[in-house]
Amino acid sequence: MMADGYTGNILRVDLSEEKVSTEPINREWARQFIGGKGLGARYLFDELKPGTDPLSPDNVLSVWTGPLVGTMVPLTSRYVVITKSPLSGTFLDTYAGGYFGPELKYAGFDAVIVKGKAPKPSYLWVNDGKAEIRDAKGVWGKDMFRTEELLREEVGHSTARVAGIGQAGEKLSRIAGVTSDITRNAGRGGAGAVFGSKNLKAIVAKGSFGVEVPKIEEFVKMAKHMLKTDVVDNPEHAGLVTDGTPIIVDMSQDAAILPTNNWHSGQFDGYQGIDSDALKNRVFVRKKACFGCGIACGSWAKVKDGPFKGSSTEGPEYETLGLAGSNCGIMNIEAVVRFAEDCDRLGLDTISAGAAVGFAMDIYEKGVITKEDTGGLDLRFGNEEAYAKMPEMIAERSTRIGDLLAEGALRAAKAIGKDTEKLVIHSKGSEYPAYDPRGSIGMALAYATSDRGADHNRAWPVASDAYGDGDPWSTEGKAAICHEEQMMKSYKWSMIFCDFYGVSPENMAMYYTAVTGLPADADWLKAVGARVWNLVRAFNVREGFLRKDDSMPERMETEPLPSGKTEGKSVSRAAFDEMLSEYYKLWGWDDEGRPTKRTLEEAGLQEILGELDYLK
Amino acid sequence: MSKGLKADVEKCTGCQICAIVCSAHHTGKFNPSESRINVLDMFPEPGEVKLNYCIHCDEHPCVEACPAEAIKLNEELGVYYVDREECTGCGACVEVCPYDGCWMDPSESYAIKCDLCGGTPQCVEVCPKGVLKR
């Protein structure tokens, strides 16, 4: 092992042939793309045939760490699942914190690349440089709480880390995520269904190899200093330390962008039942951190009495409180804890599941679906009892509506017809996270141009326009924010930092050098970011995505919000198109949103030019 | 009165920074499996974090149990440490410790336990929530 943060090894798994092998990491690509998102994207671009059905054995499923993961660099404990999304059909990178990422590295691998389909349900056991494909019959059909427990027993390590799927992924739900450390989820885009399609229940890791860096004593000194000054004492992290993401509920209510009753309002009368105070006063047990994090934004929550007594989860986080709370008309944090726990257990993305249930409630109230479709449930907005049964119905595909929603809200609407498609708030089939663009116009662009379908973790203009002192309805500067942030997040996710570490580019470069021994500065990181974002865009273009797919749902224009600061507000199509055109120009893409030859060359992507038909 | 670390475990978030820095200090690598403090996150039940480490108890049954006399006194600090050169890896200390305070290195060839880093415990210095005290 070189002392440069990398283990140097990739674990190759061919499930069809039931073979595992180890190969050295491509060092040239590692220098160009670092790890995580970037390096994973480079391998996927190379190894996935365009047009592949995401749920076929030909899809490539990979799990990536990065050179910083498992070191003492704060807030880099993450891993990312990279594959083609069964929900959006785009490139998919979906992340989770917890402890699994570092453990995979300690077990000797920077990444695992899985191909084919196992002849029977299987799991992968990775331990100190070795791996084996094992029979998963003891855990197939079991939820992820139970699965973790049983697999730890099977491998004989009570502290082994487990990333896997619940019933939702097994049943190929396109909104199934990967659950690790029981409550940490690589949730978005349907990565769980890709596991399921390969008959892969879980990856179990335990390792004692450790991670080495060039100058450990200097490194520890630096890391101690940074942990204190840049993490613990950093005022930017204060809200995360005291409250975590639930603090955003009140901010969104005030800005009137809190999705409510399937996006029919930006304000929720019952918001105080699901906000940070509700969490702290009613269900909070203790603060919980991911590996190597001095912030501990997570809260372990448990319901103490009432109909949801005994339910527990880590969170619920803001997105869950928004989509699975206010957007379903649910004003009881205890019900949301139950919903979130079930999503963790069953392996469902709380954003997509919450959005799907909100959509179902909307069409139930409109009479499009009835109790015949819902297994007798009175699926009105705010009906906690019916709501709490939905994750299981989706994961198990029981009842007509459960089976339909397992495909994601858009596919469900298409199957139902009757003009319900316009009620689904999404881009590229990926349900919107919990920031209404009608009070943060920049988010319309951020969602439309997110590489994995609508998402909040690629650019977050809402910070300045709705929560800050910017103008929420002016298009000015919004394209620039998206361009700038997507570039930054592209290298931040390649390293792989947590979103919540307000780390400067200069410090990221400093960490990179301390871990790898290689030179870096903020400009170099920007170049990596541009390379990664253009590569992923090229991937999506190769899959057939064009300007028409960088879309905004019709209701954002036609249905003004009813109350508060966003009363009467909507997003005009012309304003949206104007931002999009400006955005393409900033990235050096043509009018269809395709990176030009020159842009790709400048980004150092000469070697993929031949793969792109539109350049021929 | 034990001379070891004190922990307010209710405040512990399970971040493992103590174990990360401990392993770096003792092994020159980031490798929590070789740490002298062990953080157990136990969720969903009982929903707690447990910290295992040598509390440097007054009785020190490990010292008496060691057939190789490999657990020696650091006279300056008044605490016992494992002399890796002399440890035979028999595991007698691990078995006899009532506090789950020592365990085998992953190589299974010698026992490891807290030695207070020669007087400046690294974990105490880095703990972001002030859980650990000397």
* A303 and A373 inside one domain: yes
Model pLDDT, residue A452: 98
Model pLDDT, residue A1: 65
Contact between A516 and A95 under an 8 Å Cβ cutoff? The reply is: no
User: Hey, what are B31's tokens?
Assistant: 């490798």
Looking at the complex, does the CB of residue A312 fall below 8 Å from at least one CB of chain B? Answer: yes
Model pLDDT, residue A584: 98
- What is this model's ipTM? 0.97
Looking at the complex, does the CB of residue A157 fall below 8 Å from at least one CB of chain B? Answer: no
Q: What is the average pLDDT value for chain B, to the nearest integer?
A: 96
* A21 and A152 inside one domain: yes
- The CA distances from residue B47 to A148, A310, A453, in Å, are 15, 11, 35
Query: Hunting for tokens 């440490």 — which residue is that?
Result: B81
CA distance A429 to A476: 27
| Residue of chain B whose Cα is closest to the Cα of A296 | B13
The counts of H helices and E strands in chain B are 4, 8
Contact A72 B128 (CB under 8 A): no
Chain A hits for B107, CB-CB cut-off 8 Å, are 208
Domain of A317, CATH number, reads 1.10.569.10
* DSSP state string for A378-427: ---TT-HHHHHHHHHHHHHT-SHHHHHHTT-HHHHHHHH-TT-GGG--EE
- Residue A220 domain flag: no
* A424 and A489 inside one domain: no
Taking the CB of residue A21, how many other CB atoms lie within 10 A of it?
10
Model pLDDT, residue A2: 84
Contact A220 B33 (CB under 8 A): no
* A443 and A417 inside one domain: no
Model pLDDT, residue A364: 98
* A488 and A607 inside one domain: yes
- Residue A510 domain flag: no
Contact A287 B41 (CB under 8 A): no
The shortest CB-CB distance from B13 to any of A207, A231, A289 is to: A289
Q: Is the pLDDT of residue B1 over 60?
A: no
| Residue of chain B whose Cα is closest to the Cα of A295 | B128
* A412 and A462 inside one domain: no
My answer on whether omega of the bond before A496 falls inside 30° of 0, hence cis, is yes
* A147 and A42 inside one domain: yes
* A101 and A202 inside one domain: yes
* A492 and A583 inside one domain: yes
- Residue ranges of alpha helices (H) inside A517-572 are 522-542, 555-558
CA distance A521 to A268: 45
Domain boundary among the residues A431, A450, A485 is at: A431
Average pLDDT in the A535-557 region? 98
Cα-Cα-Cα-Cα dihedral sign, residues A68, A74, A75, A77: positive
Strand partners, A20: A13
The shortest CB-CB distance from B13 to any of A145, A296, A312 is to: A296
Q: Which residues contact A124 (CB under 8 A, 6 or more apart)?
A: A13, A20, A112, A114, A131, A132, A133, A134, A200, A202, A203, A204
Contact B40 A183 (CB under 8 A): no
Provide the CB-side half-sphere exposure for A530 (13 A, CA): 20
Average pLDDT in the A328-347 region? 98
Q: Is the pLDDT of residue A61 over 90?
A: yes
Contact A294 B128 (CB under 8 A): yes
- Residue ranges of alpha helices (H) inside A15-54 are 27-33, 36-47
| Residue of chain A whose Cα is closest to the Cα of B38 | A159
Chain A hits for B41, CB-CB cut-off 8 Å, are 99, 181, 288
Provide the CB-side half-sphere exposure for A62 (13 A, CA): 31
Q: What angle do CA A12, A13, A14 make, to 5 degrees?
A: 125
pLDDT more than 90, % of chain A: 99
Q: Is the pLDDT of residue A306 over 70?
A: yes
Looking at the complex, does the CB of residue A290 fall below 8 Å from at least one CB of chain B? Answer: yes
For residue A601, is it left (φ>0), alpha (ψ between -120 and 50) or beta?
alpha
CA distance A452 to A47: 18
Average pLDDT in the A572-592 region? 98
Task: Give, to the nearest 10 degrees, the angle between helix A573-587 and helix A441-449.
Answer: 50
CA distance B1 to B15: 28
User: Hey, what are B33's tokens?
Assistant: 């499996």
Domain of A482, CATH number, reads 1.10.599.10
Q: What is the number of domains present in chain A?
A: 3
User: Hey, what are A286's tokens?
Assistant: 């203790």
Contact B13 A286 (CB under 8 A): yes
Residues of B with CB under 8 A from a CB of A: 10-11, 13-17, 20-21, 23-25, 27-34, 40-41, 43-44, 47-49, 106-107, 122, 125-126, 128-129
Q: What is the average pLDDT value for chain A, to the nearest integer?
A: 97
Model pLDDT, residue B3: 87
The 10s digit of each residue's pLDDT in A418-432 is 999 999 999 999 999
Model pLDDT, residue B2: 73
Q: Are strands A298-302 and A284-288 parallel, antiparallel or unpaired?
A: antiparallel
CA distance A576 to A445: 7
Domain membership of residue A277 as a residue range = 238-431
Domain boundary among the residues A165, A182, A206 is at: A206
Contact A312 B47 (CB under 8 A): yes
Query: Hunting for tokens 């047009």 — which residue is that?
Result: A51
Average pLDDT in the B60-87 region? 96
* CATH for B6-133, options being 3.30.70.20, 1.20.810.10, 1.10.3720.10, 3.90.340.10: 3.30.70.20
Chain A hits for B23, CB-CB cut-off 8 Å, are 210
